[in-house]
Amino acid sequence: MIRKILVADDESHIRDVVRFAVENAGFVCIEASDGQEALQLFAEDGADLVILDVKMPHVLGTDVCREIRRTSDVPIIFLSSNDTEIDLVVGLELGADDYVTKPFSPRELVSRIRAVLRRYRPIRAEPADTTSAISSDNSTLVVGQLRINVERHEATWAGEPVAMTATEFGVLLVLAARPGRVFTRDELMDRMYRQGRHIESRIVSDRTVDSHIRSVRKSFACCGVDPIETVRGVGYRLADCQ
């Protein structure tokens, strides 16, 4: 199936670079010159992945992301000329799946797109230990009050649905597949991305994972629980789900 990529950037030469890169990689590209047009195109035609410039006229990329996240967990990648930690964390906490700074390599962007799309497809849980159970059709992972339907990409707590982005779902699934095991940040990144990372990307890996963990916790706040336990100096594991 050919994937459709929506790219929104007010700079036409950036859109040209992105379009050339993604079409050469076998994707279909649709373009928006500002945030308002991006929202309109997404509402009319949808997309398999959205690339957003952070600062656009009329509607900022961050606001576009926030609006899309009201109804969809489609993968989102931010483009920005600013790579400060605060911008990175804000972007991820809004629900973005990745963050690419300008100027960027078209090959690197395509690599990020493919990695995010791979994460977006539901991944199979690893063999669970004795504190979890998998349904007979291998589609649902159950750990106490937590139920994760892998095929439907859904999570519930005590029967209450929990809205999550694709990346948040991936984090939770990795932890729930091995309850009690502590995962380091590197292990979580590797299992989420399913591919090697560039050396320069390791600089932001820790705070990227931490941001995704915070997002998962916010998603479960409506149920009054925190499904993730921090093991100081080591990493994270699934909390007691009883």
What per-residue confidence (pLDDT) applies to 120?
65
What per-residue confidence (pLDDT) applies to 187?
75
Q: Are 180 and 231 in contact (CB under 8 A)?
A: no
The per-residue pLDDT string of the chain (242 residues; one tens digit each, 9 = 90 and over) reads 678 999 999 999 999 999 999 999 999 999 999 999 999 999 988 899 999 998 888 888 888 998 888 888 788 999 887 655 445 555 666 677 888 888 888 998 999 898 888 776 433 334 444 345 544 444 678 888 999 887 778 899 999 999 988 778 888 888 887 888 888 887 777 666 543 333 334 334 567 788 889 989 999 999 999 999 998 878 899 998 88
Domains, the chain, ordered by start: 4-120 (3.40.50.2300), 133-238 (1.10.10.10)
In whole angstroms, give the CA distance from residue 179 to residue 156: 16
- Indicate the angle between helix axes 12-24 and 106-120, nearest 10 degrees: 60
Answer yes or no: pTM beyond 0.85: no
What per-residue confidence (pLDDT) applies to 191?
67
What per-residue confidence (pLDDT) applies to 202?
38
Instruction: Compute how many other C-beta atoms are within 10 angstroms of the C-beta atom of residue 82.
Output: 11
